[in-house]
Amino acid sequence: METHYTDEKNTQIVLGLLKAHKIRKVIASPGTTNIRLVASMQQDSFFEIYSAADERSAAYIACGLAEESGESVVLSCTGATASRNYIPGLTEAFYRKLPVLAITSTQHMGRIGQNIAQVLDRSVQLNDMVKLSVQLPTCYCLEDEWSCNVQTNRAMLELTRMGKGPVHINLETTYSSNFAVENLPEVYPIYRIEHEDNLPIIPNGKIGIFVGAHSKWSENLTVTVDRFCEQHNAVVLCDQTSNYRGKYRVLFNLITNQNKYHAVCNDFDLIIHIGNISGAYPNFRSKNEWRVHPDGEIRDTFQHLRYVFAMEEEYFFAQYIDKNIGQPISNSFLSEWQNEYQAIYSNIPELPFSNIWMAKYMANKLPENAILHLGILNTLRSWNFFETPDKLDVYCNTGGFGIDGILSSAIGAALGNPEKIVFCVVGDLAFFYDMNALGNRHLKNNIRILLINNGCGTEFKNYNHPGAQFGQNADAYIAAANHYGAKSKQLVMHYAVDLGFEYLQAAGKEEFKNGLERFLNPALTEKPMVFEVFTNWEDESKALEVMNNLITTPKDSIKSAIKGIVGEEGVKKIKKLMSK
């Protein structure tokens, strides 16, 4: 019987990436659970396979083969206790820094602990056995395939990282008997670039530097990135927490958040990703992504990652600057983004009184040399639509992305910068969650809190949130409405005043404008401030809907309608079919 590759997608991805990473040497032990992998390798002349019936011996054979050849070596075994016999050999590989990849095949992982024969728990490894262990379950959708691709790349790259060493992949099988697949699917190898490696060539076309949440930039880093952008006609894609304030900054959310319009400038040939987690939920189209970070970890944010540069940002950008070029090549891409932003911004109508309206009104009025801390989700999104002064540092708890420490983080910043005013914009649930921080005896007069009190978790009632379908029923448990005084006009006032705060209040646009002059006083005042503003969720949702639909084209309206019917996964499948 003529056989080809298995139809199990996770195994196909492993095979494809073994070939992409040029890992060909295999020590195979007999068994049923690993037939899909071994039989697929056996008919592919790329692989150099050796048989070893004893897994303990197989692991030591792999050590000797890896040492002499200087190449990574794959181990393959079945279920039951087969993998346990790898422990001595993998321990040897660990201490000798030998690149041995142990691929242990397993039944469905849900069977672990259910008294099913030949099913062992391989989720935890000994500290000195492997450098990394990943689990590759069966792929049922495109996101499963993407995750499998990323995890397999992680495993294979770890073999030769920081002095080499053994790695483990636990590969799930469905025991498929279909070996009729003649060609492996397209896989996406990811490569790690170290300081001493040859750098890949920057592709021609549209280049964007996407900056996630980022600490304050040094002057040298800003100058280096600006110079890079000058020579490569690139832009720096920012949300408020990116903290880049150079010449090539573009605040992208107003453009990328349009539901029924896709700007041409939002199509990239390369995105260079720096910084950490962004709360802006970027929506870019990119052919390739490079990540630059000293940790060298794979972070496939846009699902097109090709290279991870394990180096400092300034060093990376300096390598791609031609010192002999005196004048900028072009800044046309920056102009394209700026013109697009202005065109969409000019369509903003008068918005309802809301977090977004307040952000629009006050964003450019914040005093320079201040610090701004934003609440997650609704607040951060609102402020990401509008540009803020250049000399302003902006932060948000996007790391853990929880509401539980927003006030405390802002107070910590105020303690660390007593000469600077620290503004904090926060919703009512997050405020009450962390309100005890206002009683801290170290608190000084440089903290000013803008509390937007809409009486619920308005995020869960926005027009585009899954919770919106429940209408008023969302209030009870989903949106947690009517807690904490149910928008009491006295509760926060008494609490704040008794703790020594100056208290301001507004329930409409004119009241807000009147209070804002005091709240934005550029000089340090005698007391810290709390400015409580009352809105309602209907206006919050309406303002967001308006901002997401400022411009419409027939083509993108149709796309939006299709997405609403088939969902994100359906759209991905349609795109995949059309590309064949």
Predicted confidence (pLDDT) per residue in 250-289, tens digit: 999 999 999 999 999 999 999 999 999 999 998 899 999 9
Name the strand (E) or helix (H) holding 119.
Answer: none
Distances (CA, A) of 431 to 129, 198, 277, 487: 47, 50, 23, 13
Give me the mean pLDDT over the 74-97 stretch.
Answer: 96
Q: 562 pLDDT exceeds 90?
A: no
Cα separation of 184 and 7, whole Å?
Answer: 9
User: Per the structure block, which two tokens stand in for 578?
Assistant: 């059309």
Closest alpha carbon to 427 in 447, 445, 448, 407: 407
What digits encode the pLDDT tens for the residues 89-133? Answer: 999 999 999 999 999 999 999 999 988 999 999 988 999 999 999
Residue 377 near residue 279 (C-beta atoms within 8 A):
yes
CA 475 – CA 253 distance, rounded (Å): 29
The pLDDT, as a whole number, for residue 195 is 92
Local confidence band at 324 (pLDDT 50, 70, 90 cut-offs) = confident
Contact 337, 238 (CB under 8 A): no
Given a cut of 70, is residue 574 above it in pLDDT? Answer: no
pLDDT tens digits along 527-546: 999 999 999 999 999 999 99
The arithmetic mean of pLDDT across residues 445-474, rounded, is 94
Q: How many CA atoms lie within 13 A of 23 on its CB side?
A: 28
Amino acid 570: pLDDT: 62
Least confident range of 16-20, 330-334, 508-512: 330-334
Backbone angles phi, psi at 238, to 5 degrees: -125, 150
In angstroms, the CA 2 to CA 212 distance is 51
For the chain, domains (ranges, CATH) are: 9-188 (3.40.50.970), 207-345 (3.40.50.1220), 355-546 (3.40.50.970), 554-578 (no CATH)
Q: Which residues contact 420 (CB under 8 A, 6 or more apart)?
A: 369, 370, 371, 414, 446
Secondary structure element (H or E) that encloses residue 513, with its range: helix 509-519
- At residue 573 the predicted structure's pLDDT band, cuts being 50, 70 and 90, is low
Please give the single-letter amino acid code of residue 458: T
Is residue 458 within 8 A of residue 378, CB to CB? The reply is yes
State the Cα–Cα distance between residues 479 and 456, nearest whole angstrom: 6
**What mean pLDDT is predicted for residues 348-362?**
98
Residue 330: predicted pLDDT: 77
Across the range 492-518, mean pLDDT stands at 97
| CA pair distance 108, 261, nearest whole angstrom | 43
User: What pTM was estimated for this model as a whole?
Assistant: 0.91
The confidence score (pLDDT) of residue 323 equals 78
- Cβ atoms 386, 411 nearer than 8 A: no
Within its chain, how far is the Cα of 135 from the centroid? 21
Q: What pLDDT, in 10s, does the model give residues 140-177?
A: 999 999 999 999 999 999 999 999 999 999 999 999 99
Q: For residues 299-327, b (16+ Cβ closer than 10 Å) or e, as one string?
A: bbbbebbbbbbbbebbebbbebeeeeeee
pLDDT band at 2 (very low <50, low <70, confident <90, very high): confident
Centre a 10 Å sphere on the Cβ of residue 399 and count the other Cβ atoms it contains. Answer: 10
Mean pLDDT confidence for 238-245: 97
Q: Is the pLDDT of residue 3 over 90?
A: no
Q: Are strands 502-506 and 422-427 parallel, antiparallel or unpaired?
A: unpaired
Q: Is the pLDDT of residue 571 over 60?
A: no
Please report which confidence band the pLDDT of residue 457 belongs to, taking 50, 70 and 90 as the band edges: very high
Mean pLDDT of 506-512: 97
Q: Give the helix ranges, DSSP H, for 363-487.
A: 378-383, 406-416, 428-433, 474-477
Q: How confident is the prediction for the chain on average, in pLDDT?
A: 94
What pLDDT is recorded for position 90?
98
pLDDT for the residue 567: 61
pLDDT at 558: 57
Contact 353, 508 (CB under 8 A): yes
Residue-wise pLDDT for 218-232, tens only, equals: 999 999 999 999 999
